[in-house]
Amino acid sequence: MSIQNWTFLIVGITFLLYIIIAVRSRAKNTSDFYVAHGQVSPLANGLATAADWMSAASFIGMAGLISFLGKDGAVYLMGWTGGYVLLALLLAPYLRKFGKFTVPDFIGDRYYSQTARLIAVVCAIFISFTYVSGQMRGVGIVFSRFLNVSIEMGVLIGMGIVFFYAVLGGMKGITYTQVAQYCILIFAFLVPAIFISIMLTGNVIPQLGFGSKVADGTYLLDKLDKLSVELGFNQYTSGNKSMVDVFFITAALMVGTAGLPHVIVRFFTVPNVRDARKSAGYALLFIAILYTTAPAVAAFARINMIETISNQEYESAPSWFKNWEQTGLIKFDDKNKDGKMQYLNSDANEVTVDRDIIVLANPEIAQLPNWVVGLVAAGGLAAALSTAAGLLLVISTAVAHDLFKKTLRPDLSEKQELRAARIAAACAVLVAGYFGINPPDYVAQVVAFAFGLAAASFFPAILLGIFSKRVNKEGAISGMVVGLLFTSIYIVYFKFWYPESNTPDNWFFGISPEGIGTLGMLINFVVTLVVTRFTPEPEQRIKDLVESIRTP
Amino acid sequence: MSEKSSAYWRSNLKYLAILLSIWALVSFGAGIVFSDQLDKIRLSGFKLGFWFAQQGSIFVFVILIFVYVILMNRLDNKYELNED
């Protein structure tokens, strides 16, 4: 069977599966819709959290990014996993004990203030929209490359599926489809990785193959270092970025991960505090399976790519090369007219490869069977759709619960609130789809925003809300506002206003806009604590609330 | 604040301090600040600093969470703070 038929078959089966699950887990009330009635088992929640968290960026983008960054790719590997330690130890158990529906719920109640709640709502909606447009775009790209439909059509199909299970099932529907999506995406990621590991190093486990010897008897990473240096690149195993910047980016991604509302809200869905802790452990375990495979895939792909294209005749280039060339994501320009492809880190370079195609092209580069290619396409879709659904739910909850029920119309009945939540989810799908089809140029740029803002706003406010009884609303609100303003202005300045000055010389202490959220977070902490010192203590009932969430 | 819950909270804070120190040591320490020095040591095909940055730290993160789960379950039982 051809690649296209396999893809149709596998993607079709997975979509059917999502729809069946959605029909079987309809939401009956707002508690079902927001938090799956708090009755999800820790194992299921761990699987769902892993799928929720691992987006198109983790599945499609990350290994390619690492492949081009070498050692510096560690900022993503450590940054996007280390946050779970913070989440499991510092936030999840206490938020579960608090036992409401959303992050703005906690901020609003703990800081006894509608203003604080509103700031939290605005941040949650902004972060989630930023993120969700990227997912829809990912869906469109997978469709257009493997199923030969236009990107627009791809986005529409993806929207239809998400619409169906998010609007119908709410958190309940999303949770169980995410469990299925995790299984599909991890299988799709591991199969090609294992195949390639065996082919290159003879080792079945990619994590070990990564450190093994290749056919000519040298270690894989040593060979890769040597090849990289020959082509004028830095050694693969040594970094390019300054240590300060690596430090700040890693910290911003870790803290940002712990502060992302769609991740936090997953821990409201388990029955009790014990289960919240346990499911955070499961979630990171399931995430780690992909995240420890990704650097191996990155190194394998790098070595395969260099060997297949460097100094080879263009005429005899493999078919995947020509296929991707048609999409414009691989470009070849025979500058010296010798008919061979020179891949170099200098002006004489003739081949440009878009890093986003590495994972998708990997099975073809390694000449794996056609069904593996179809499987990878289904895995990419599972990753994008599961994350998109989780984000859309946060948006609809923020609008229906935090904005309508808690702020504008407290007299809303249970039934009306559920209807409002469904309508909000439906609108959010439409807006996300619009941005998927007409992506603002800056989609890639604003991802730094999502993490930076989560780090600079939510994380300190929630952490201090649990670990300090003294911190009051004046402190928390001014901390969030200053942290947010500082981080946004820094990112907007370098990314939008003066992109030409976005170089290490102009950065504050050498910190790039990607890492500035860490500094924003520190500023938030300082401002909160200082303002709190000079303003009145919170009432006794707030102290009792803090006391009560500290024990299970 | 009751005697019992403040003792429980102090133990919790002690666990957090220890586990988060290890967390910072493997990621920011071994993976970033001391990574270049550790690269001089080899672990079969890996330079040690590189390994910590791209794989080792992630394994440690997973272990840390499960250790915390076990410690806290014990603590809950000791202070009889079990829900349902």
Q: What is the full per-residue pLDDT of chain A (552 aa) written as tens digits?
A: 788 888 889 988 998 898 888 888 877 788 878 777 778 888 999 999 999 998 887 888 888 888 888 888 888 999 999 999 999 999 999 998 888 778 888 999 999 988 999 999 988 888 888 788 777 777 777 777 777 777 788 888 888 888 887 887 788 888 888 999 999 999 999 999 999 999 888 889 988 888 888 878 888 888 888 888 888 788 888 877 888 888 999 999 999 999 888 888 888 888 888 999 999 999 999 999 999 999 999 888 888 888 888 888 888 888 788 877 877 778 888 888 887 888 888 777 888 887 777 888 888 877 888 888 888 888 988 888 888 888 888 888 888 887 777 778 778 788 888 888 888 888 888 888 887 777 665 555 566 678 888 899 889 999 999 999 999 999 999 999 999 999 888 888 887 777 777 777 777 777 888 888 899 999 999 999 999 999 988 889 888 888 888 888
Residue B1 lies in a domain: no
Say if residues A190 and A196 touch (Cβ distance below 8 Å): no
Nearest to A111 by CA among A398, A470, A411, A400: A470
The number of folded domains in chain B is: 1
Residue B14 burial (CB count, 10 A): 11
Shortest CA gap B57–chain A (Å): 7
Q: In degrees rounded to 5, what are phi and psi of residue A132?
A: -75, -30
The whole-angstrom separation of Cα A266 and Cα A281 is: 13
Residue B10 lies in a domain: no
A505-511 long-range contacts, CB within 8 A, separation 24+? A507/A245, A509/A244, A510/A242, A510/A244, A510/A245, A511/A244, A511/A245, A511/A248
Point out the residue among B8, B55, B73 whose CB comes nearest to the CB of A292: B55
CB contact under 8 A, B45 and A281: no
Q: Is A502 on the interface with B (CB under 8 A)?
A: no
The whole-angstrom separation of Cα A423 and Cα A253 is: 32
The whole-angstrom separation of Cα A291 and Cα A284 is: 10
Point out the residue among B32, B47, B65 whose CB comes nearest to the CB of A246: B32
What predicted TM-score, i.e. pTM, was given to this entire model?
A: 0.91
Q: Is A235 on the interface with B (CB under 8 A)?
A: no
CB contact under 8 A, B59 and A237: no
Residue B2 lies in a domain: no
CB contact under 8 A, A212 and B44: yes
Cα–Cα distances in angstroms (integers) from residue B70 to residues A264, A276, B7, B59, in the given order: 22, 13, 18, 17
Residue B66 lies in a domain: yes
Residue B62 lies in a domain: yes
pLDDT tens per residue across span A46-88: 999 999 998 887 888 888 888 888 888 888 999 999 999 999 9
Point out the residue among B27, B44, B76 whose CB comes nearest to the CB of A211: B44
Q: In degrees rounded to 5, what are phi and psi of residue A211?
A: -105, 15
Tokens at A542, concatenated: 């707030």
Residue B48 lies in a domain: yes
Residue B8 lies in a domain: no
The whole-angstrom separation of Cα A170 and Cα A33 is: 4
Packed helices A273-309 and B57-78: angle between N→C axes, nearest 10 degrees: 170
Residues of chain B neighbouring A278 (CB-CB closer than 8 A): 69
Q: Delimit the domains of chain A by residue range.
A: 3-550
Shortest CA gap B40–chain A (Å): 12
The pLDDT of residue A389: 86
The pLDDT of residue A58: 82
Instruction: Domain of residue B67: give its range.
Output: 15-78
**Beta carbons within 8 Å of A8's beta carbon, 6+ residues apart:** A147, A374
* Chain B contacts to A (CB-CB under 8 A): 1, 5, 8-9, 12, 16, 19-20, 23, 27-28, 31-33, 35-36, 39, 43-47, 50-51, 53-55, 57-59, 61-62, 64-66, 68-69, 72-73, 76, 79, 81-84
pLDDT tens per residue across span A441-498: 555 556 667 888 889 988 999 999 999 999 999 999 999 999 999 988 888 888 777 7
CATH annotation of A3-550: 1.20.1730.10
Q: Supply the DSSP string of B14-83, one letter for each residue.
A: HHHHHHHHHHHIIIIIIIIITHHHHTTSEETTEEHHHHIIIIIHHHHHHHHHHHHHHHHHHHHHHTT---
The whole-angstrom separation of Cα A425 and Cα A166 is: 7
Point out the residue among B28, B45, B53 whose CB comes nearest to the CB of A71: B53
Residue B21 lies in a domain: yes
The whole-angstrom separation of Cα A123 and Cα B8 is: 34
Nearest to A376 by CA among A169, A191, A110: A191
Residue ranges of A 260-319 with Cβ closer than 8 A to chain B: 271-274, 277-278, 280-281, 284-285, 288, 291-292, 295
The whole-angstrom separation of Cα A388 and Cα A164 is: 13
Tokens at A16, concatenated: 């059917």
Say if residues B65 and B59 touch (Cβ distance below 8 Å): no
